[in-house]
Structure 1
């Protein structure tokens, strides 16, 4: 936000029009401030994405308890490993992550 040095009013922004550059102007007095293009990018910094470690690893699922009550949505096999954890507030049910023993498909039930 820019303020008028003469009267203290909040300056308004005027878009560039044809050959006129963008500028700030005071709505109450004749003050006008031209906007200069002083910002120059000297170099670009490449962002490096960090590798995300999985919350549930393959070793966790190998050591997890197994059930024969979960049906895989891909292959229809009824044996799966599962892990339960609380993702919402304490009065909500736990989230269960399943991994099919046959095809390795992962799915969850809330």
Structure 2
């Protein structure tokens, strides 16, 4: 797939001599080179995961949620849309008790 550098529309293929890509909107034309490079065996690398919870300080908003593990009355929370848009968001909590730090979620 090739996109027009001018208007970002999908370029159409035209089999002429020589073959070319063209844009129906802005009339951009790009000739197709005869020598096509096919890349095979491209090695993908894994990136290191960035932790969401860093250290003991609260990173996000806090609330008066009770920790199910230690019973502490404050927790940090984060909301994420994990299901379809018509479903409620999933809320992830982290206990703010320094000795606990328990993580749990509420669907």
TM-score, normalised with respect to structure 1 = 0.47
Comparing both structures, which one devotes a greater share of its residues to helix?
1
Q: TM-score, normalised by structure 2?
A: 0.48
Larger radius of gyration: 1
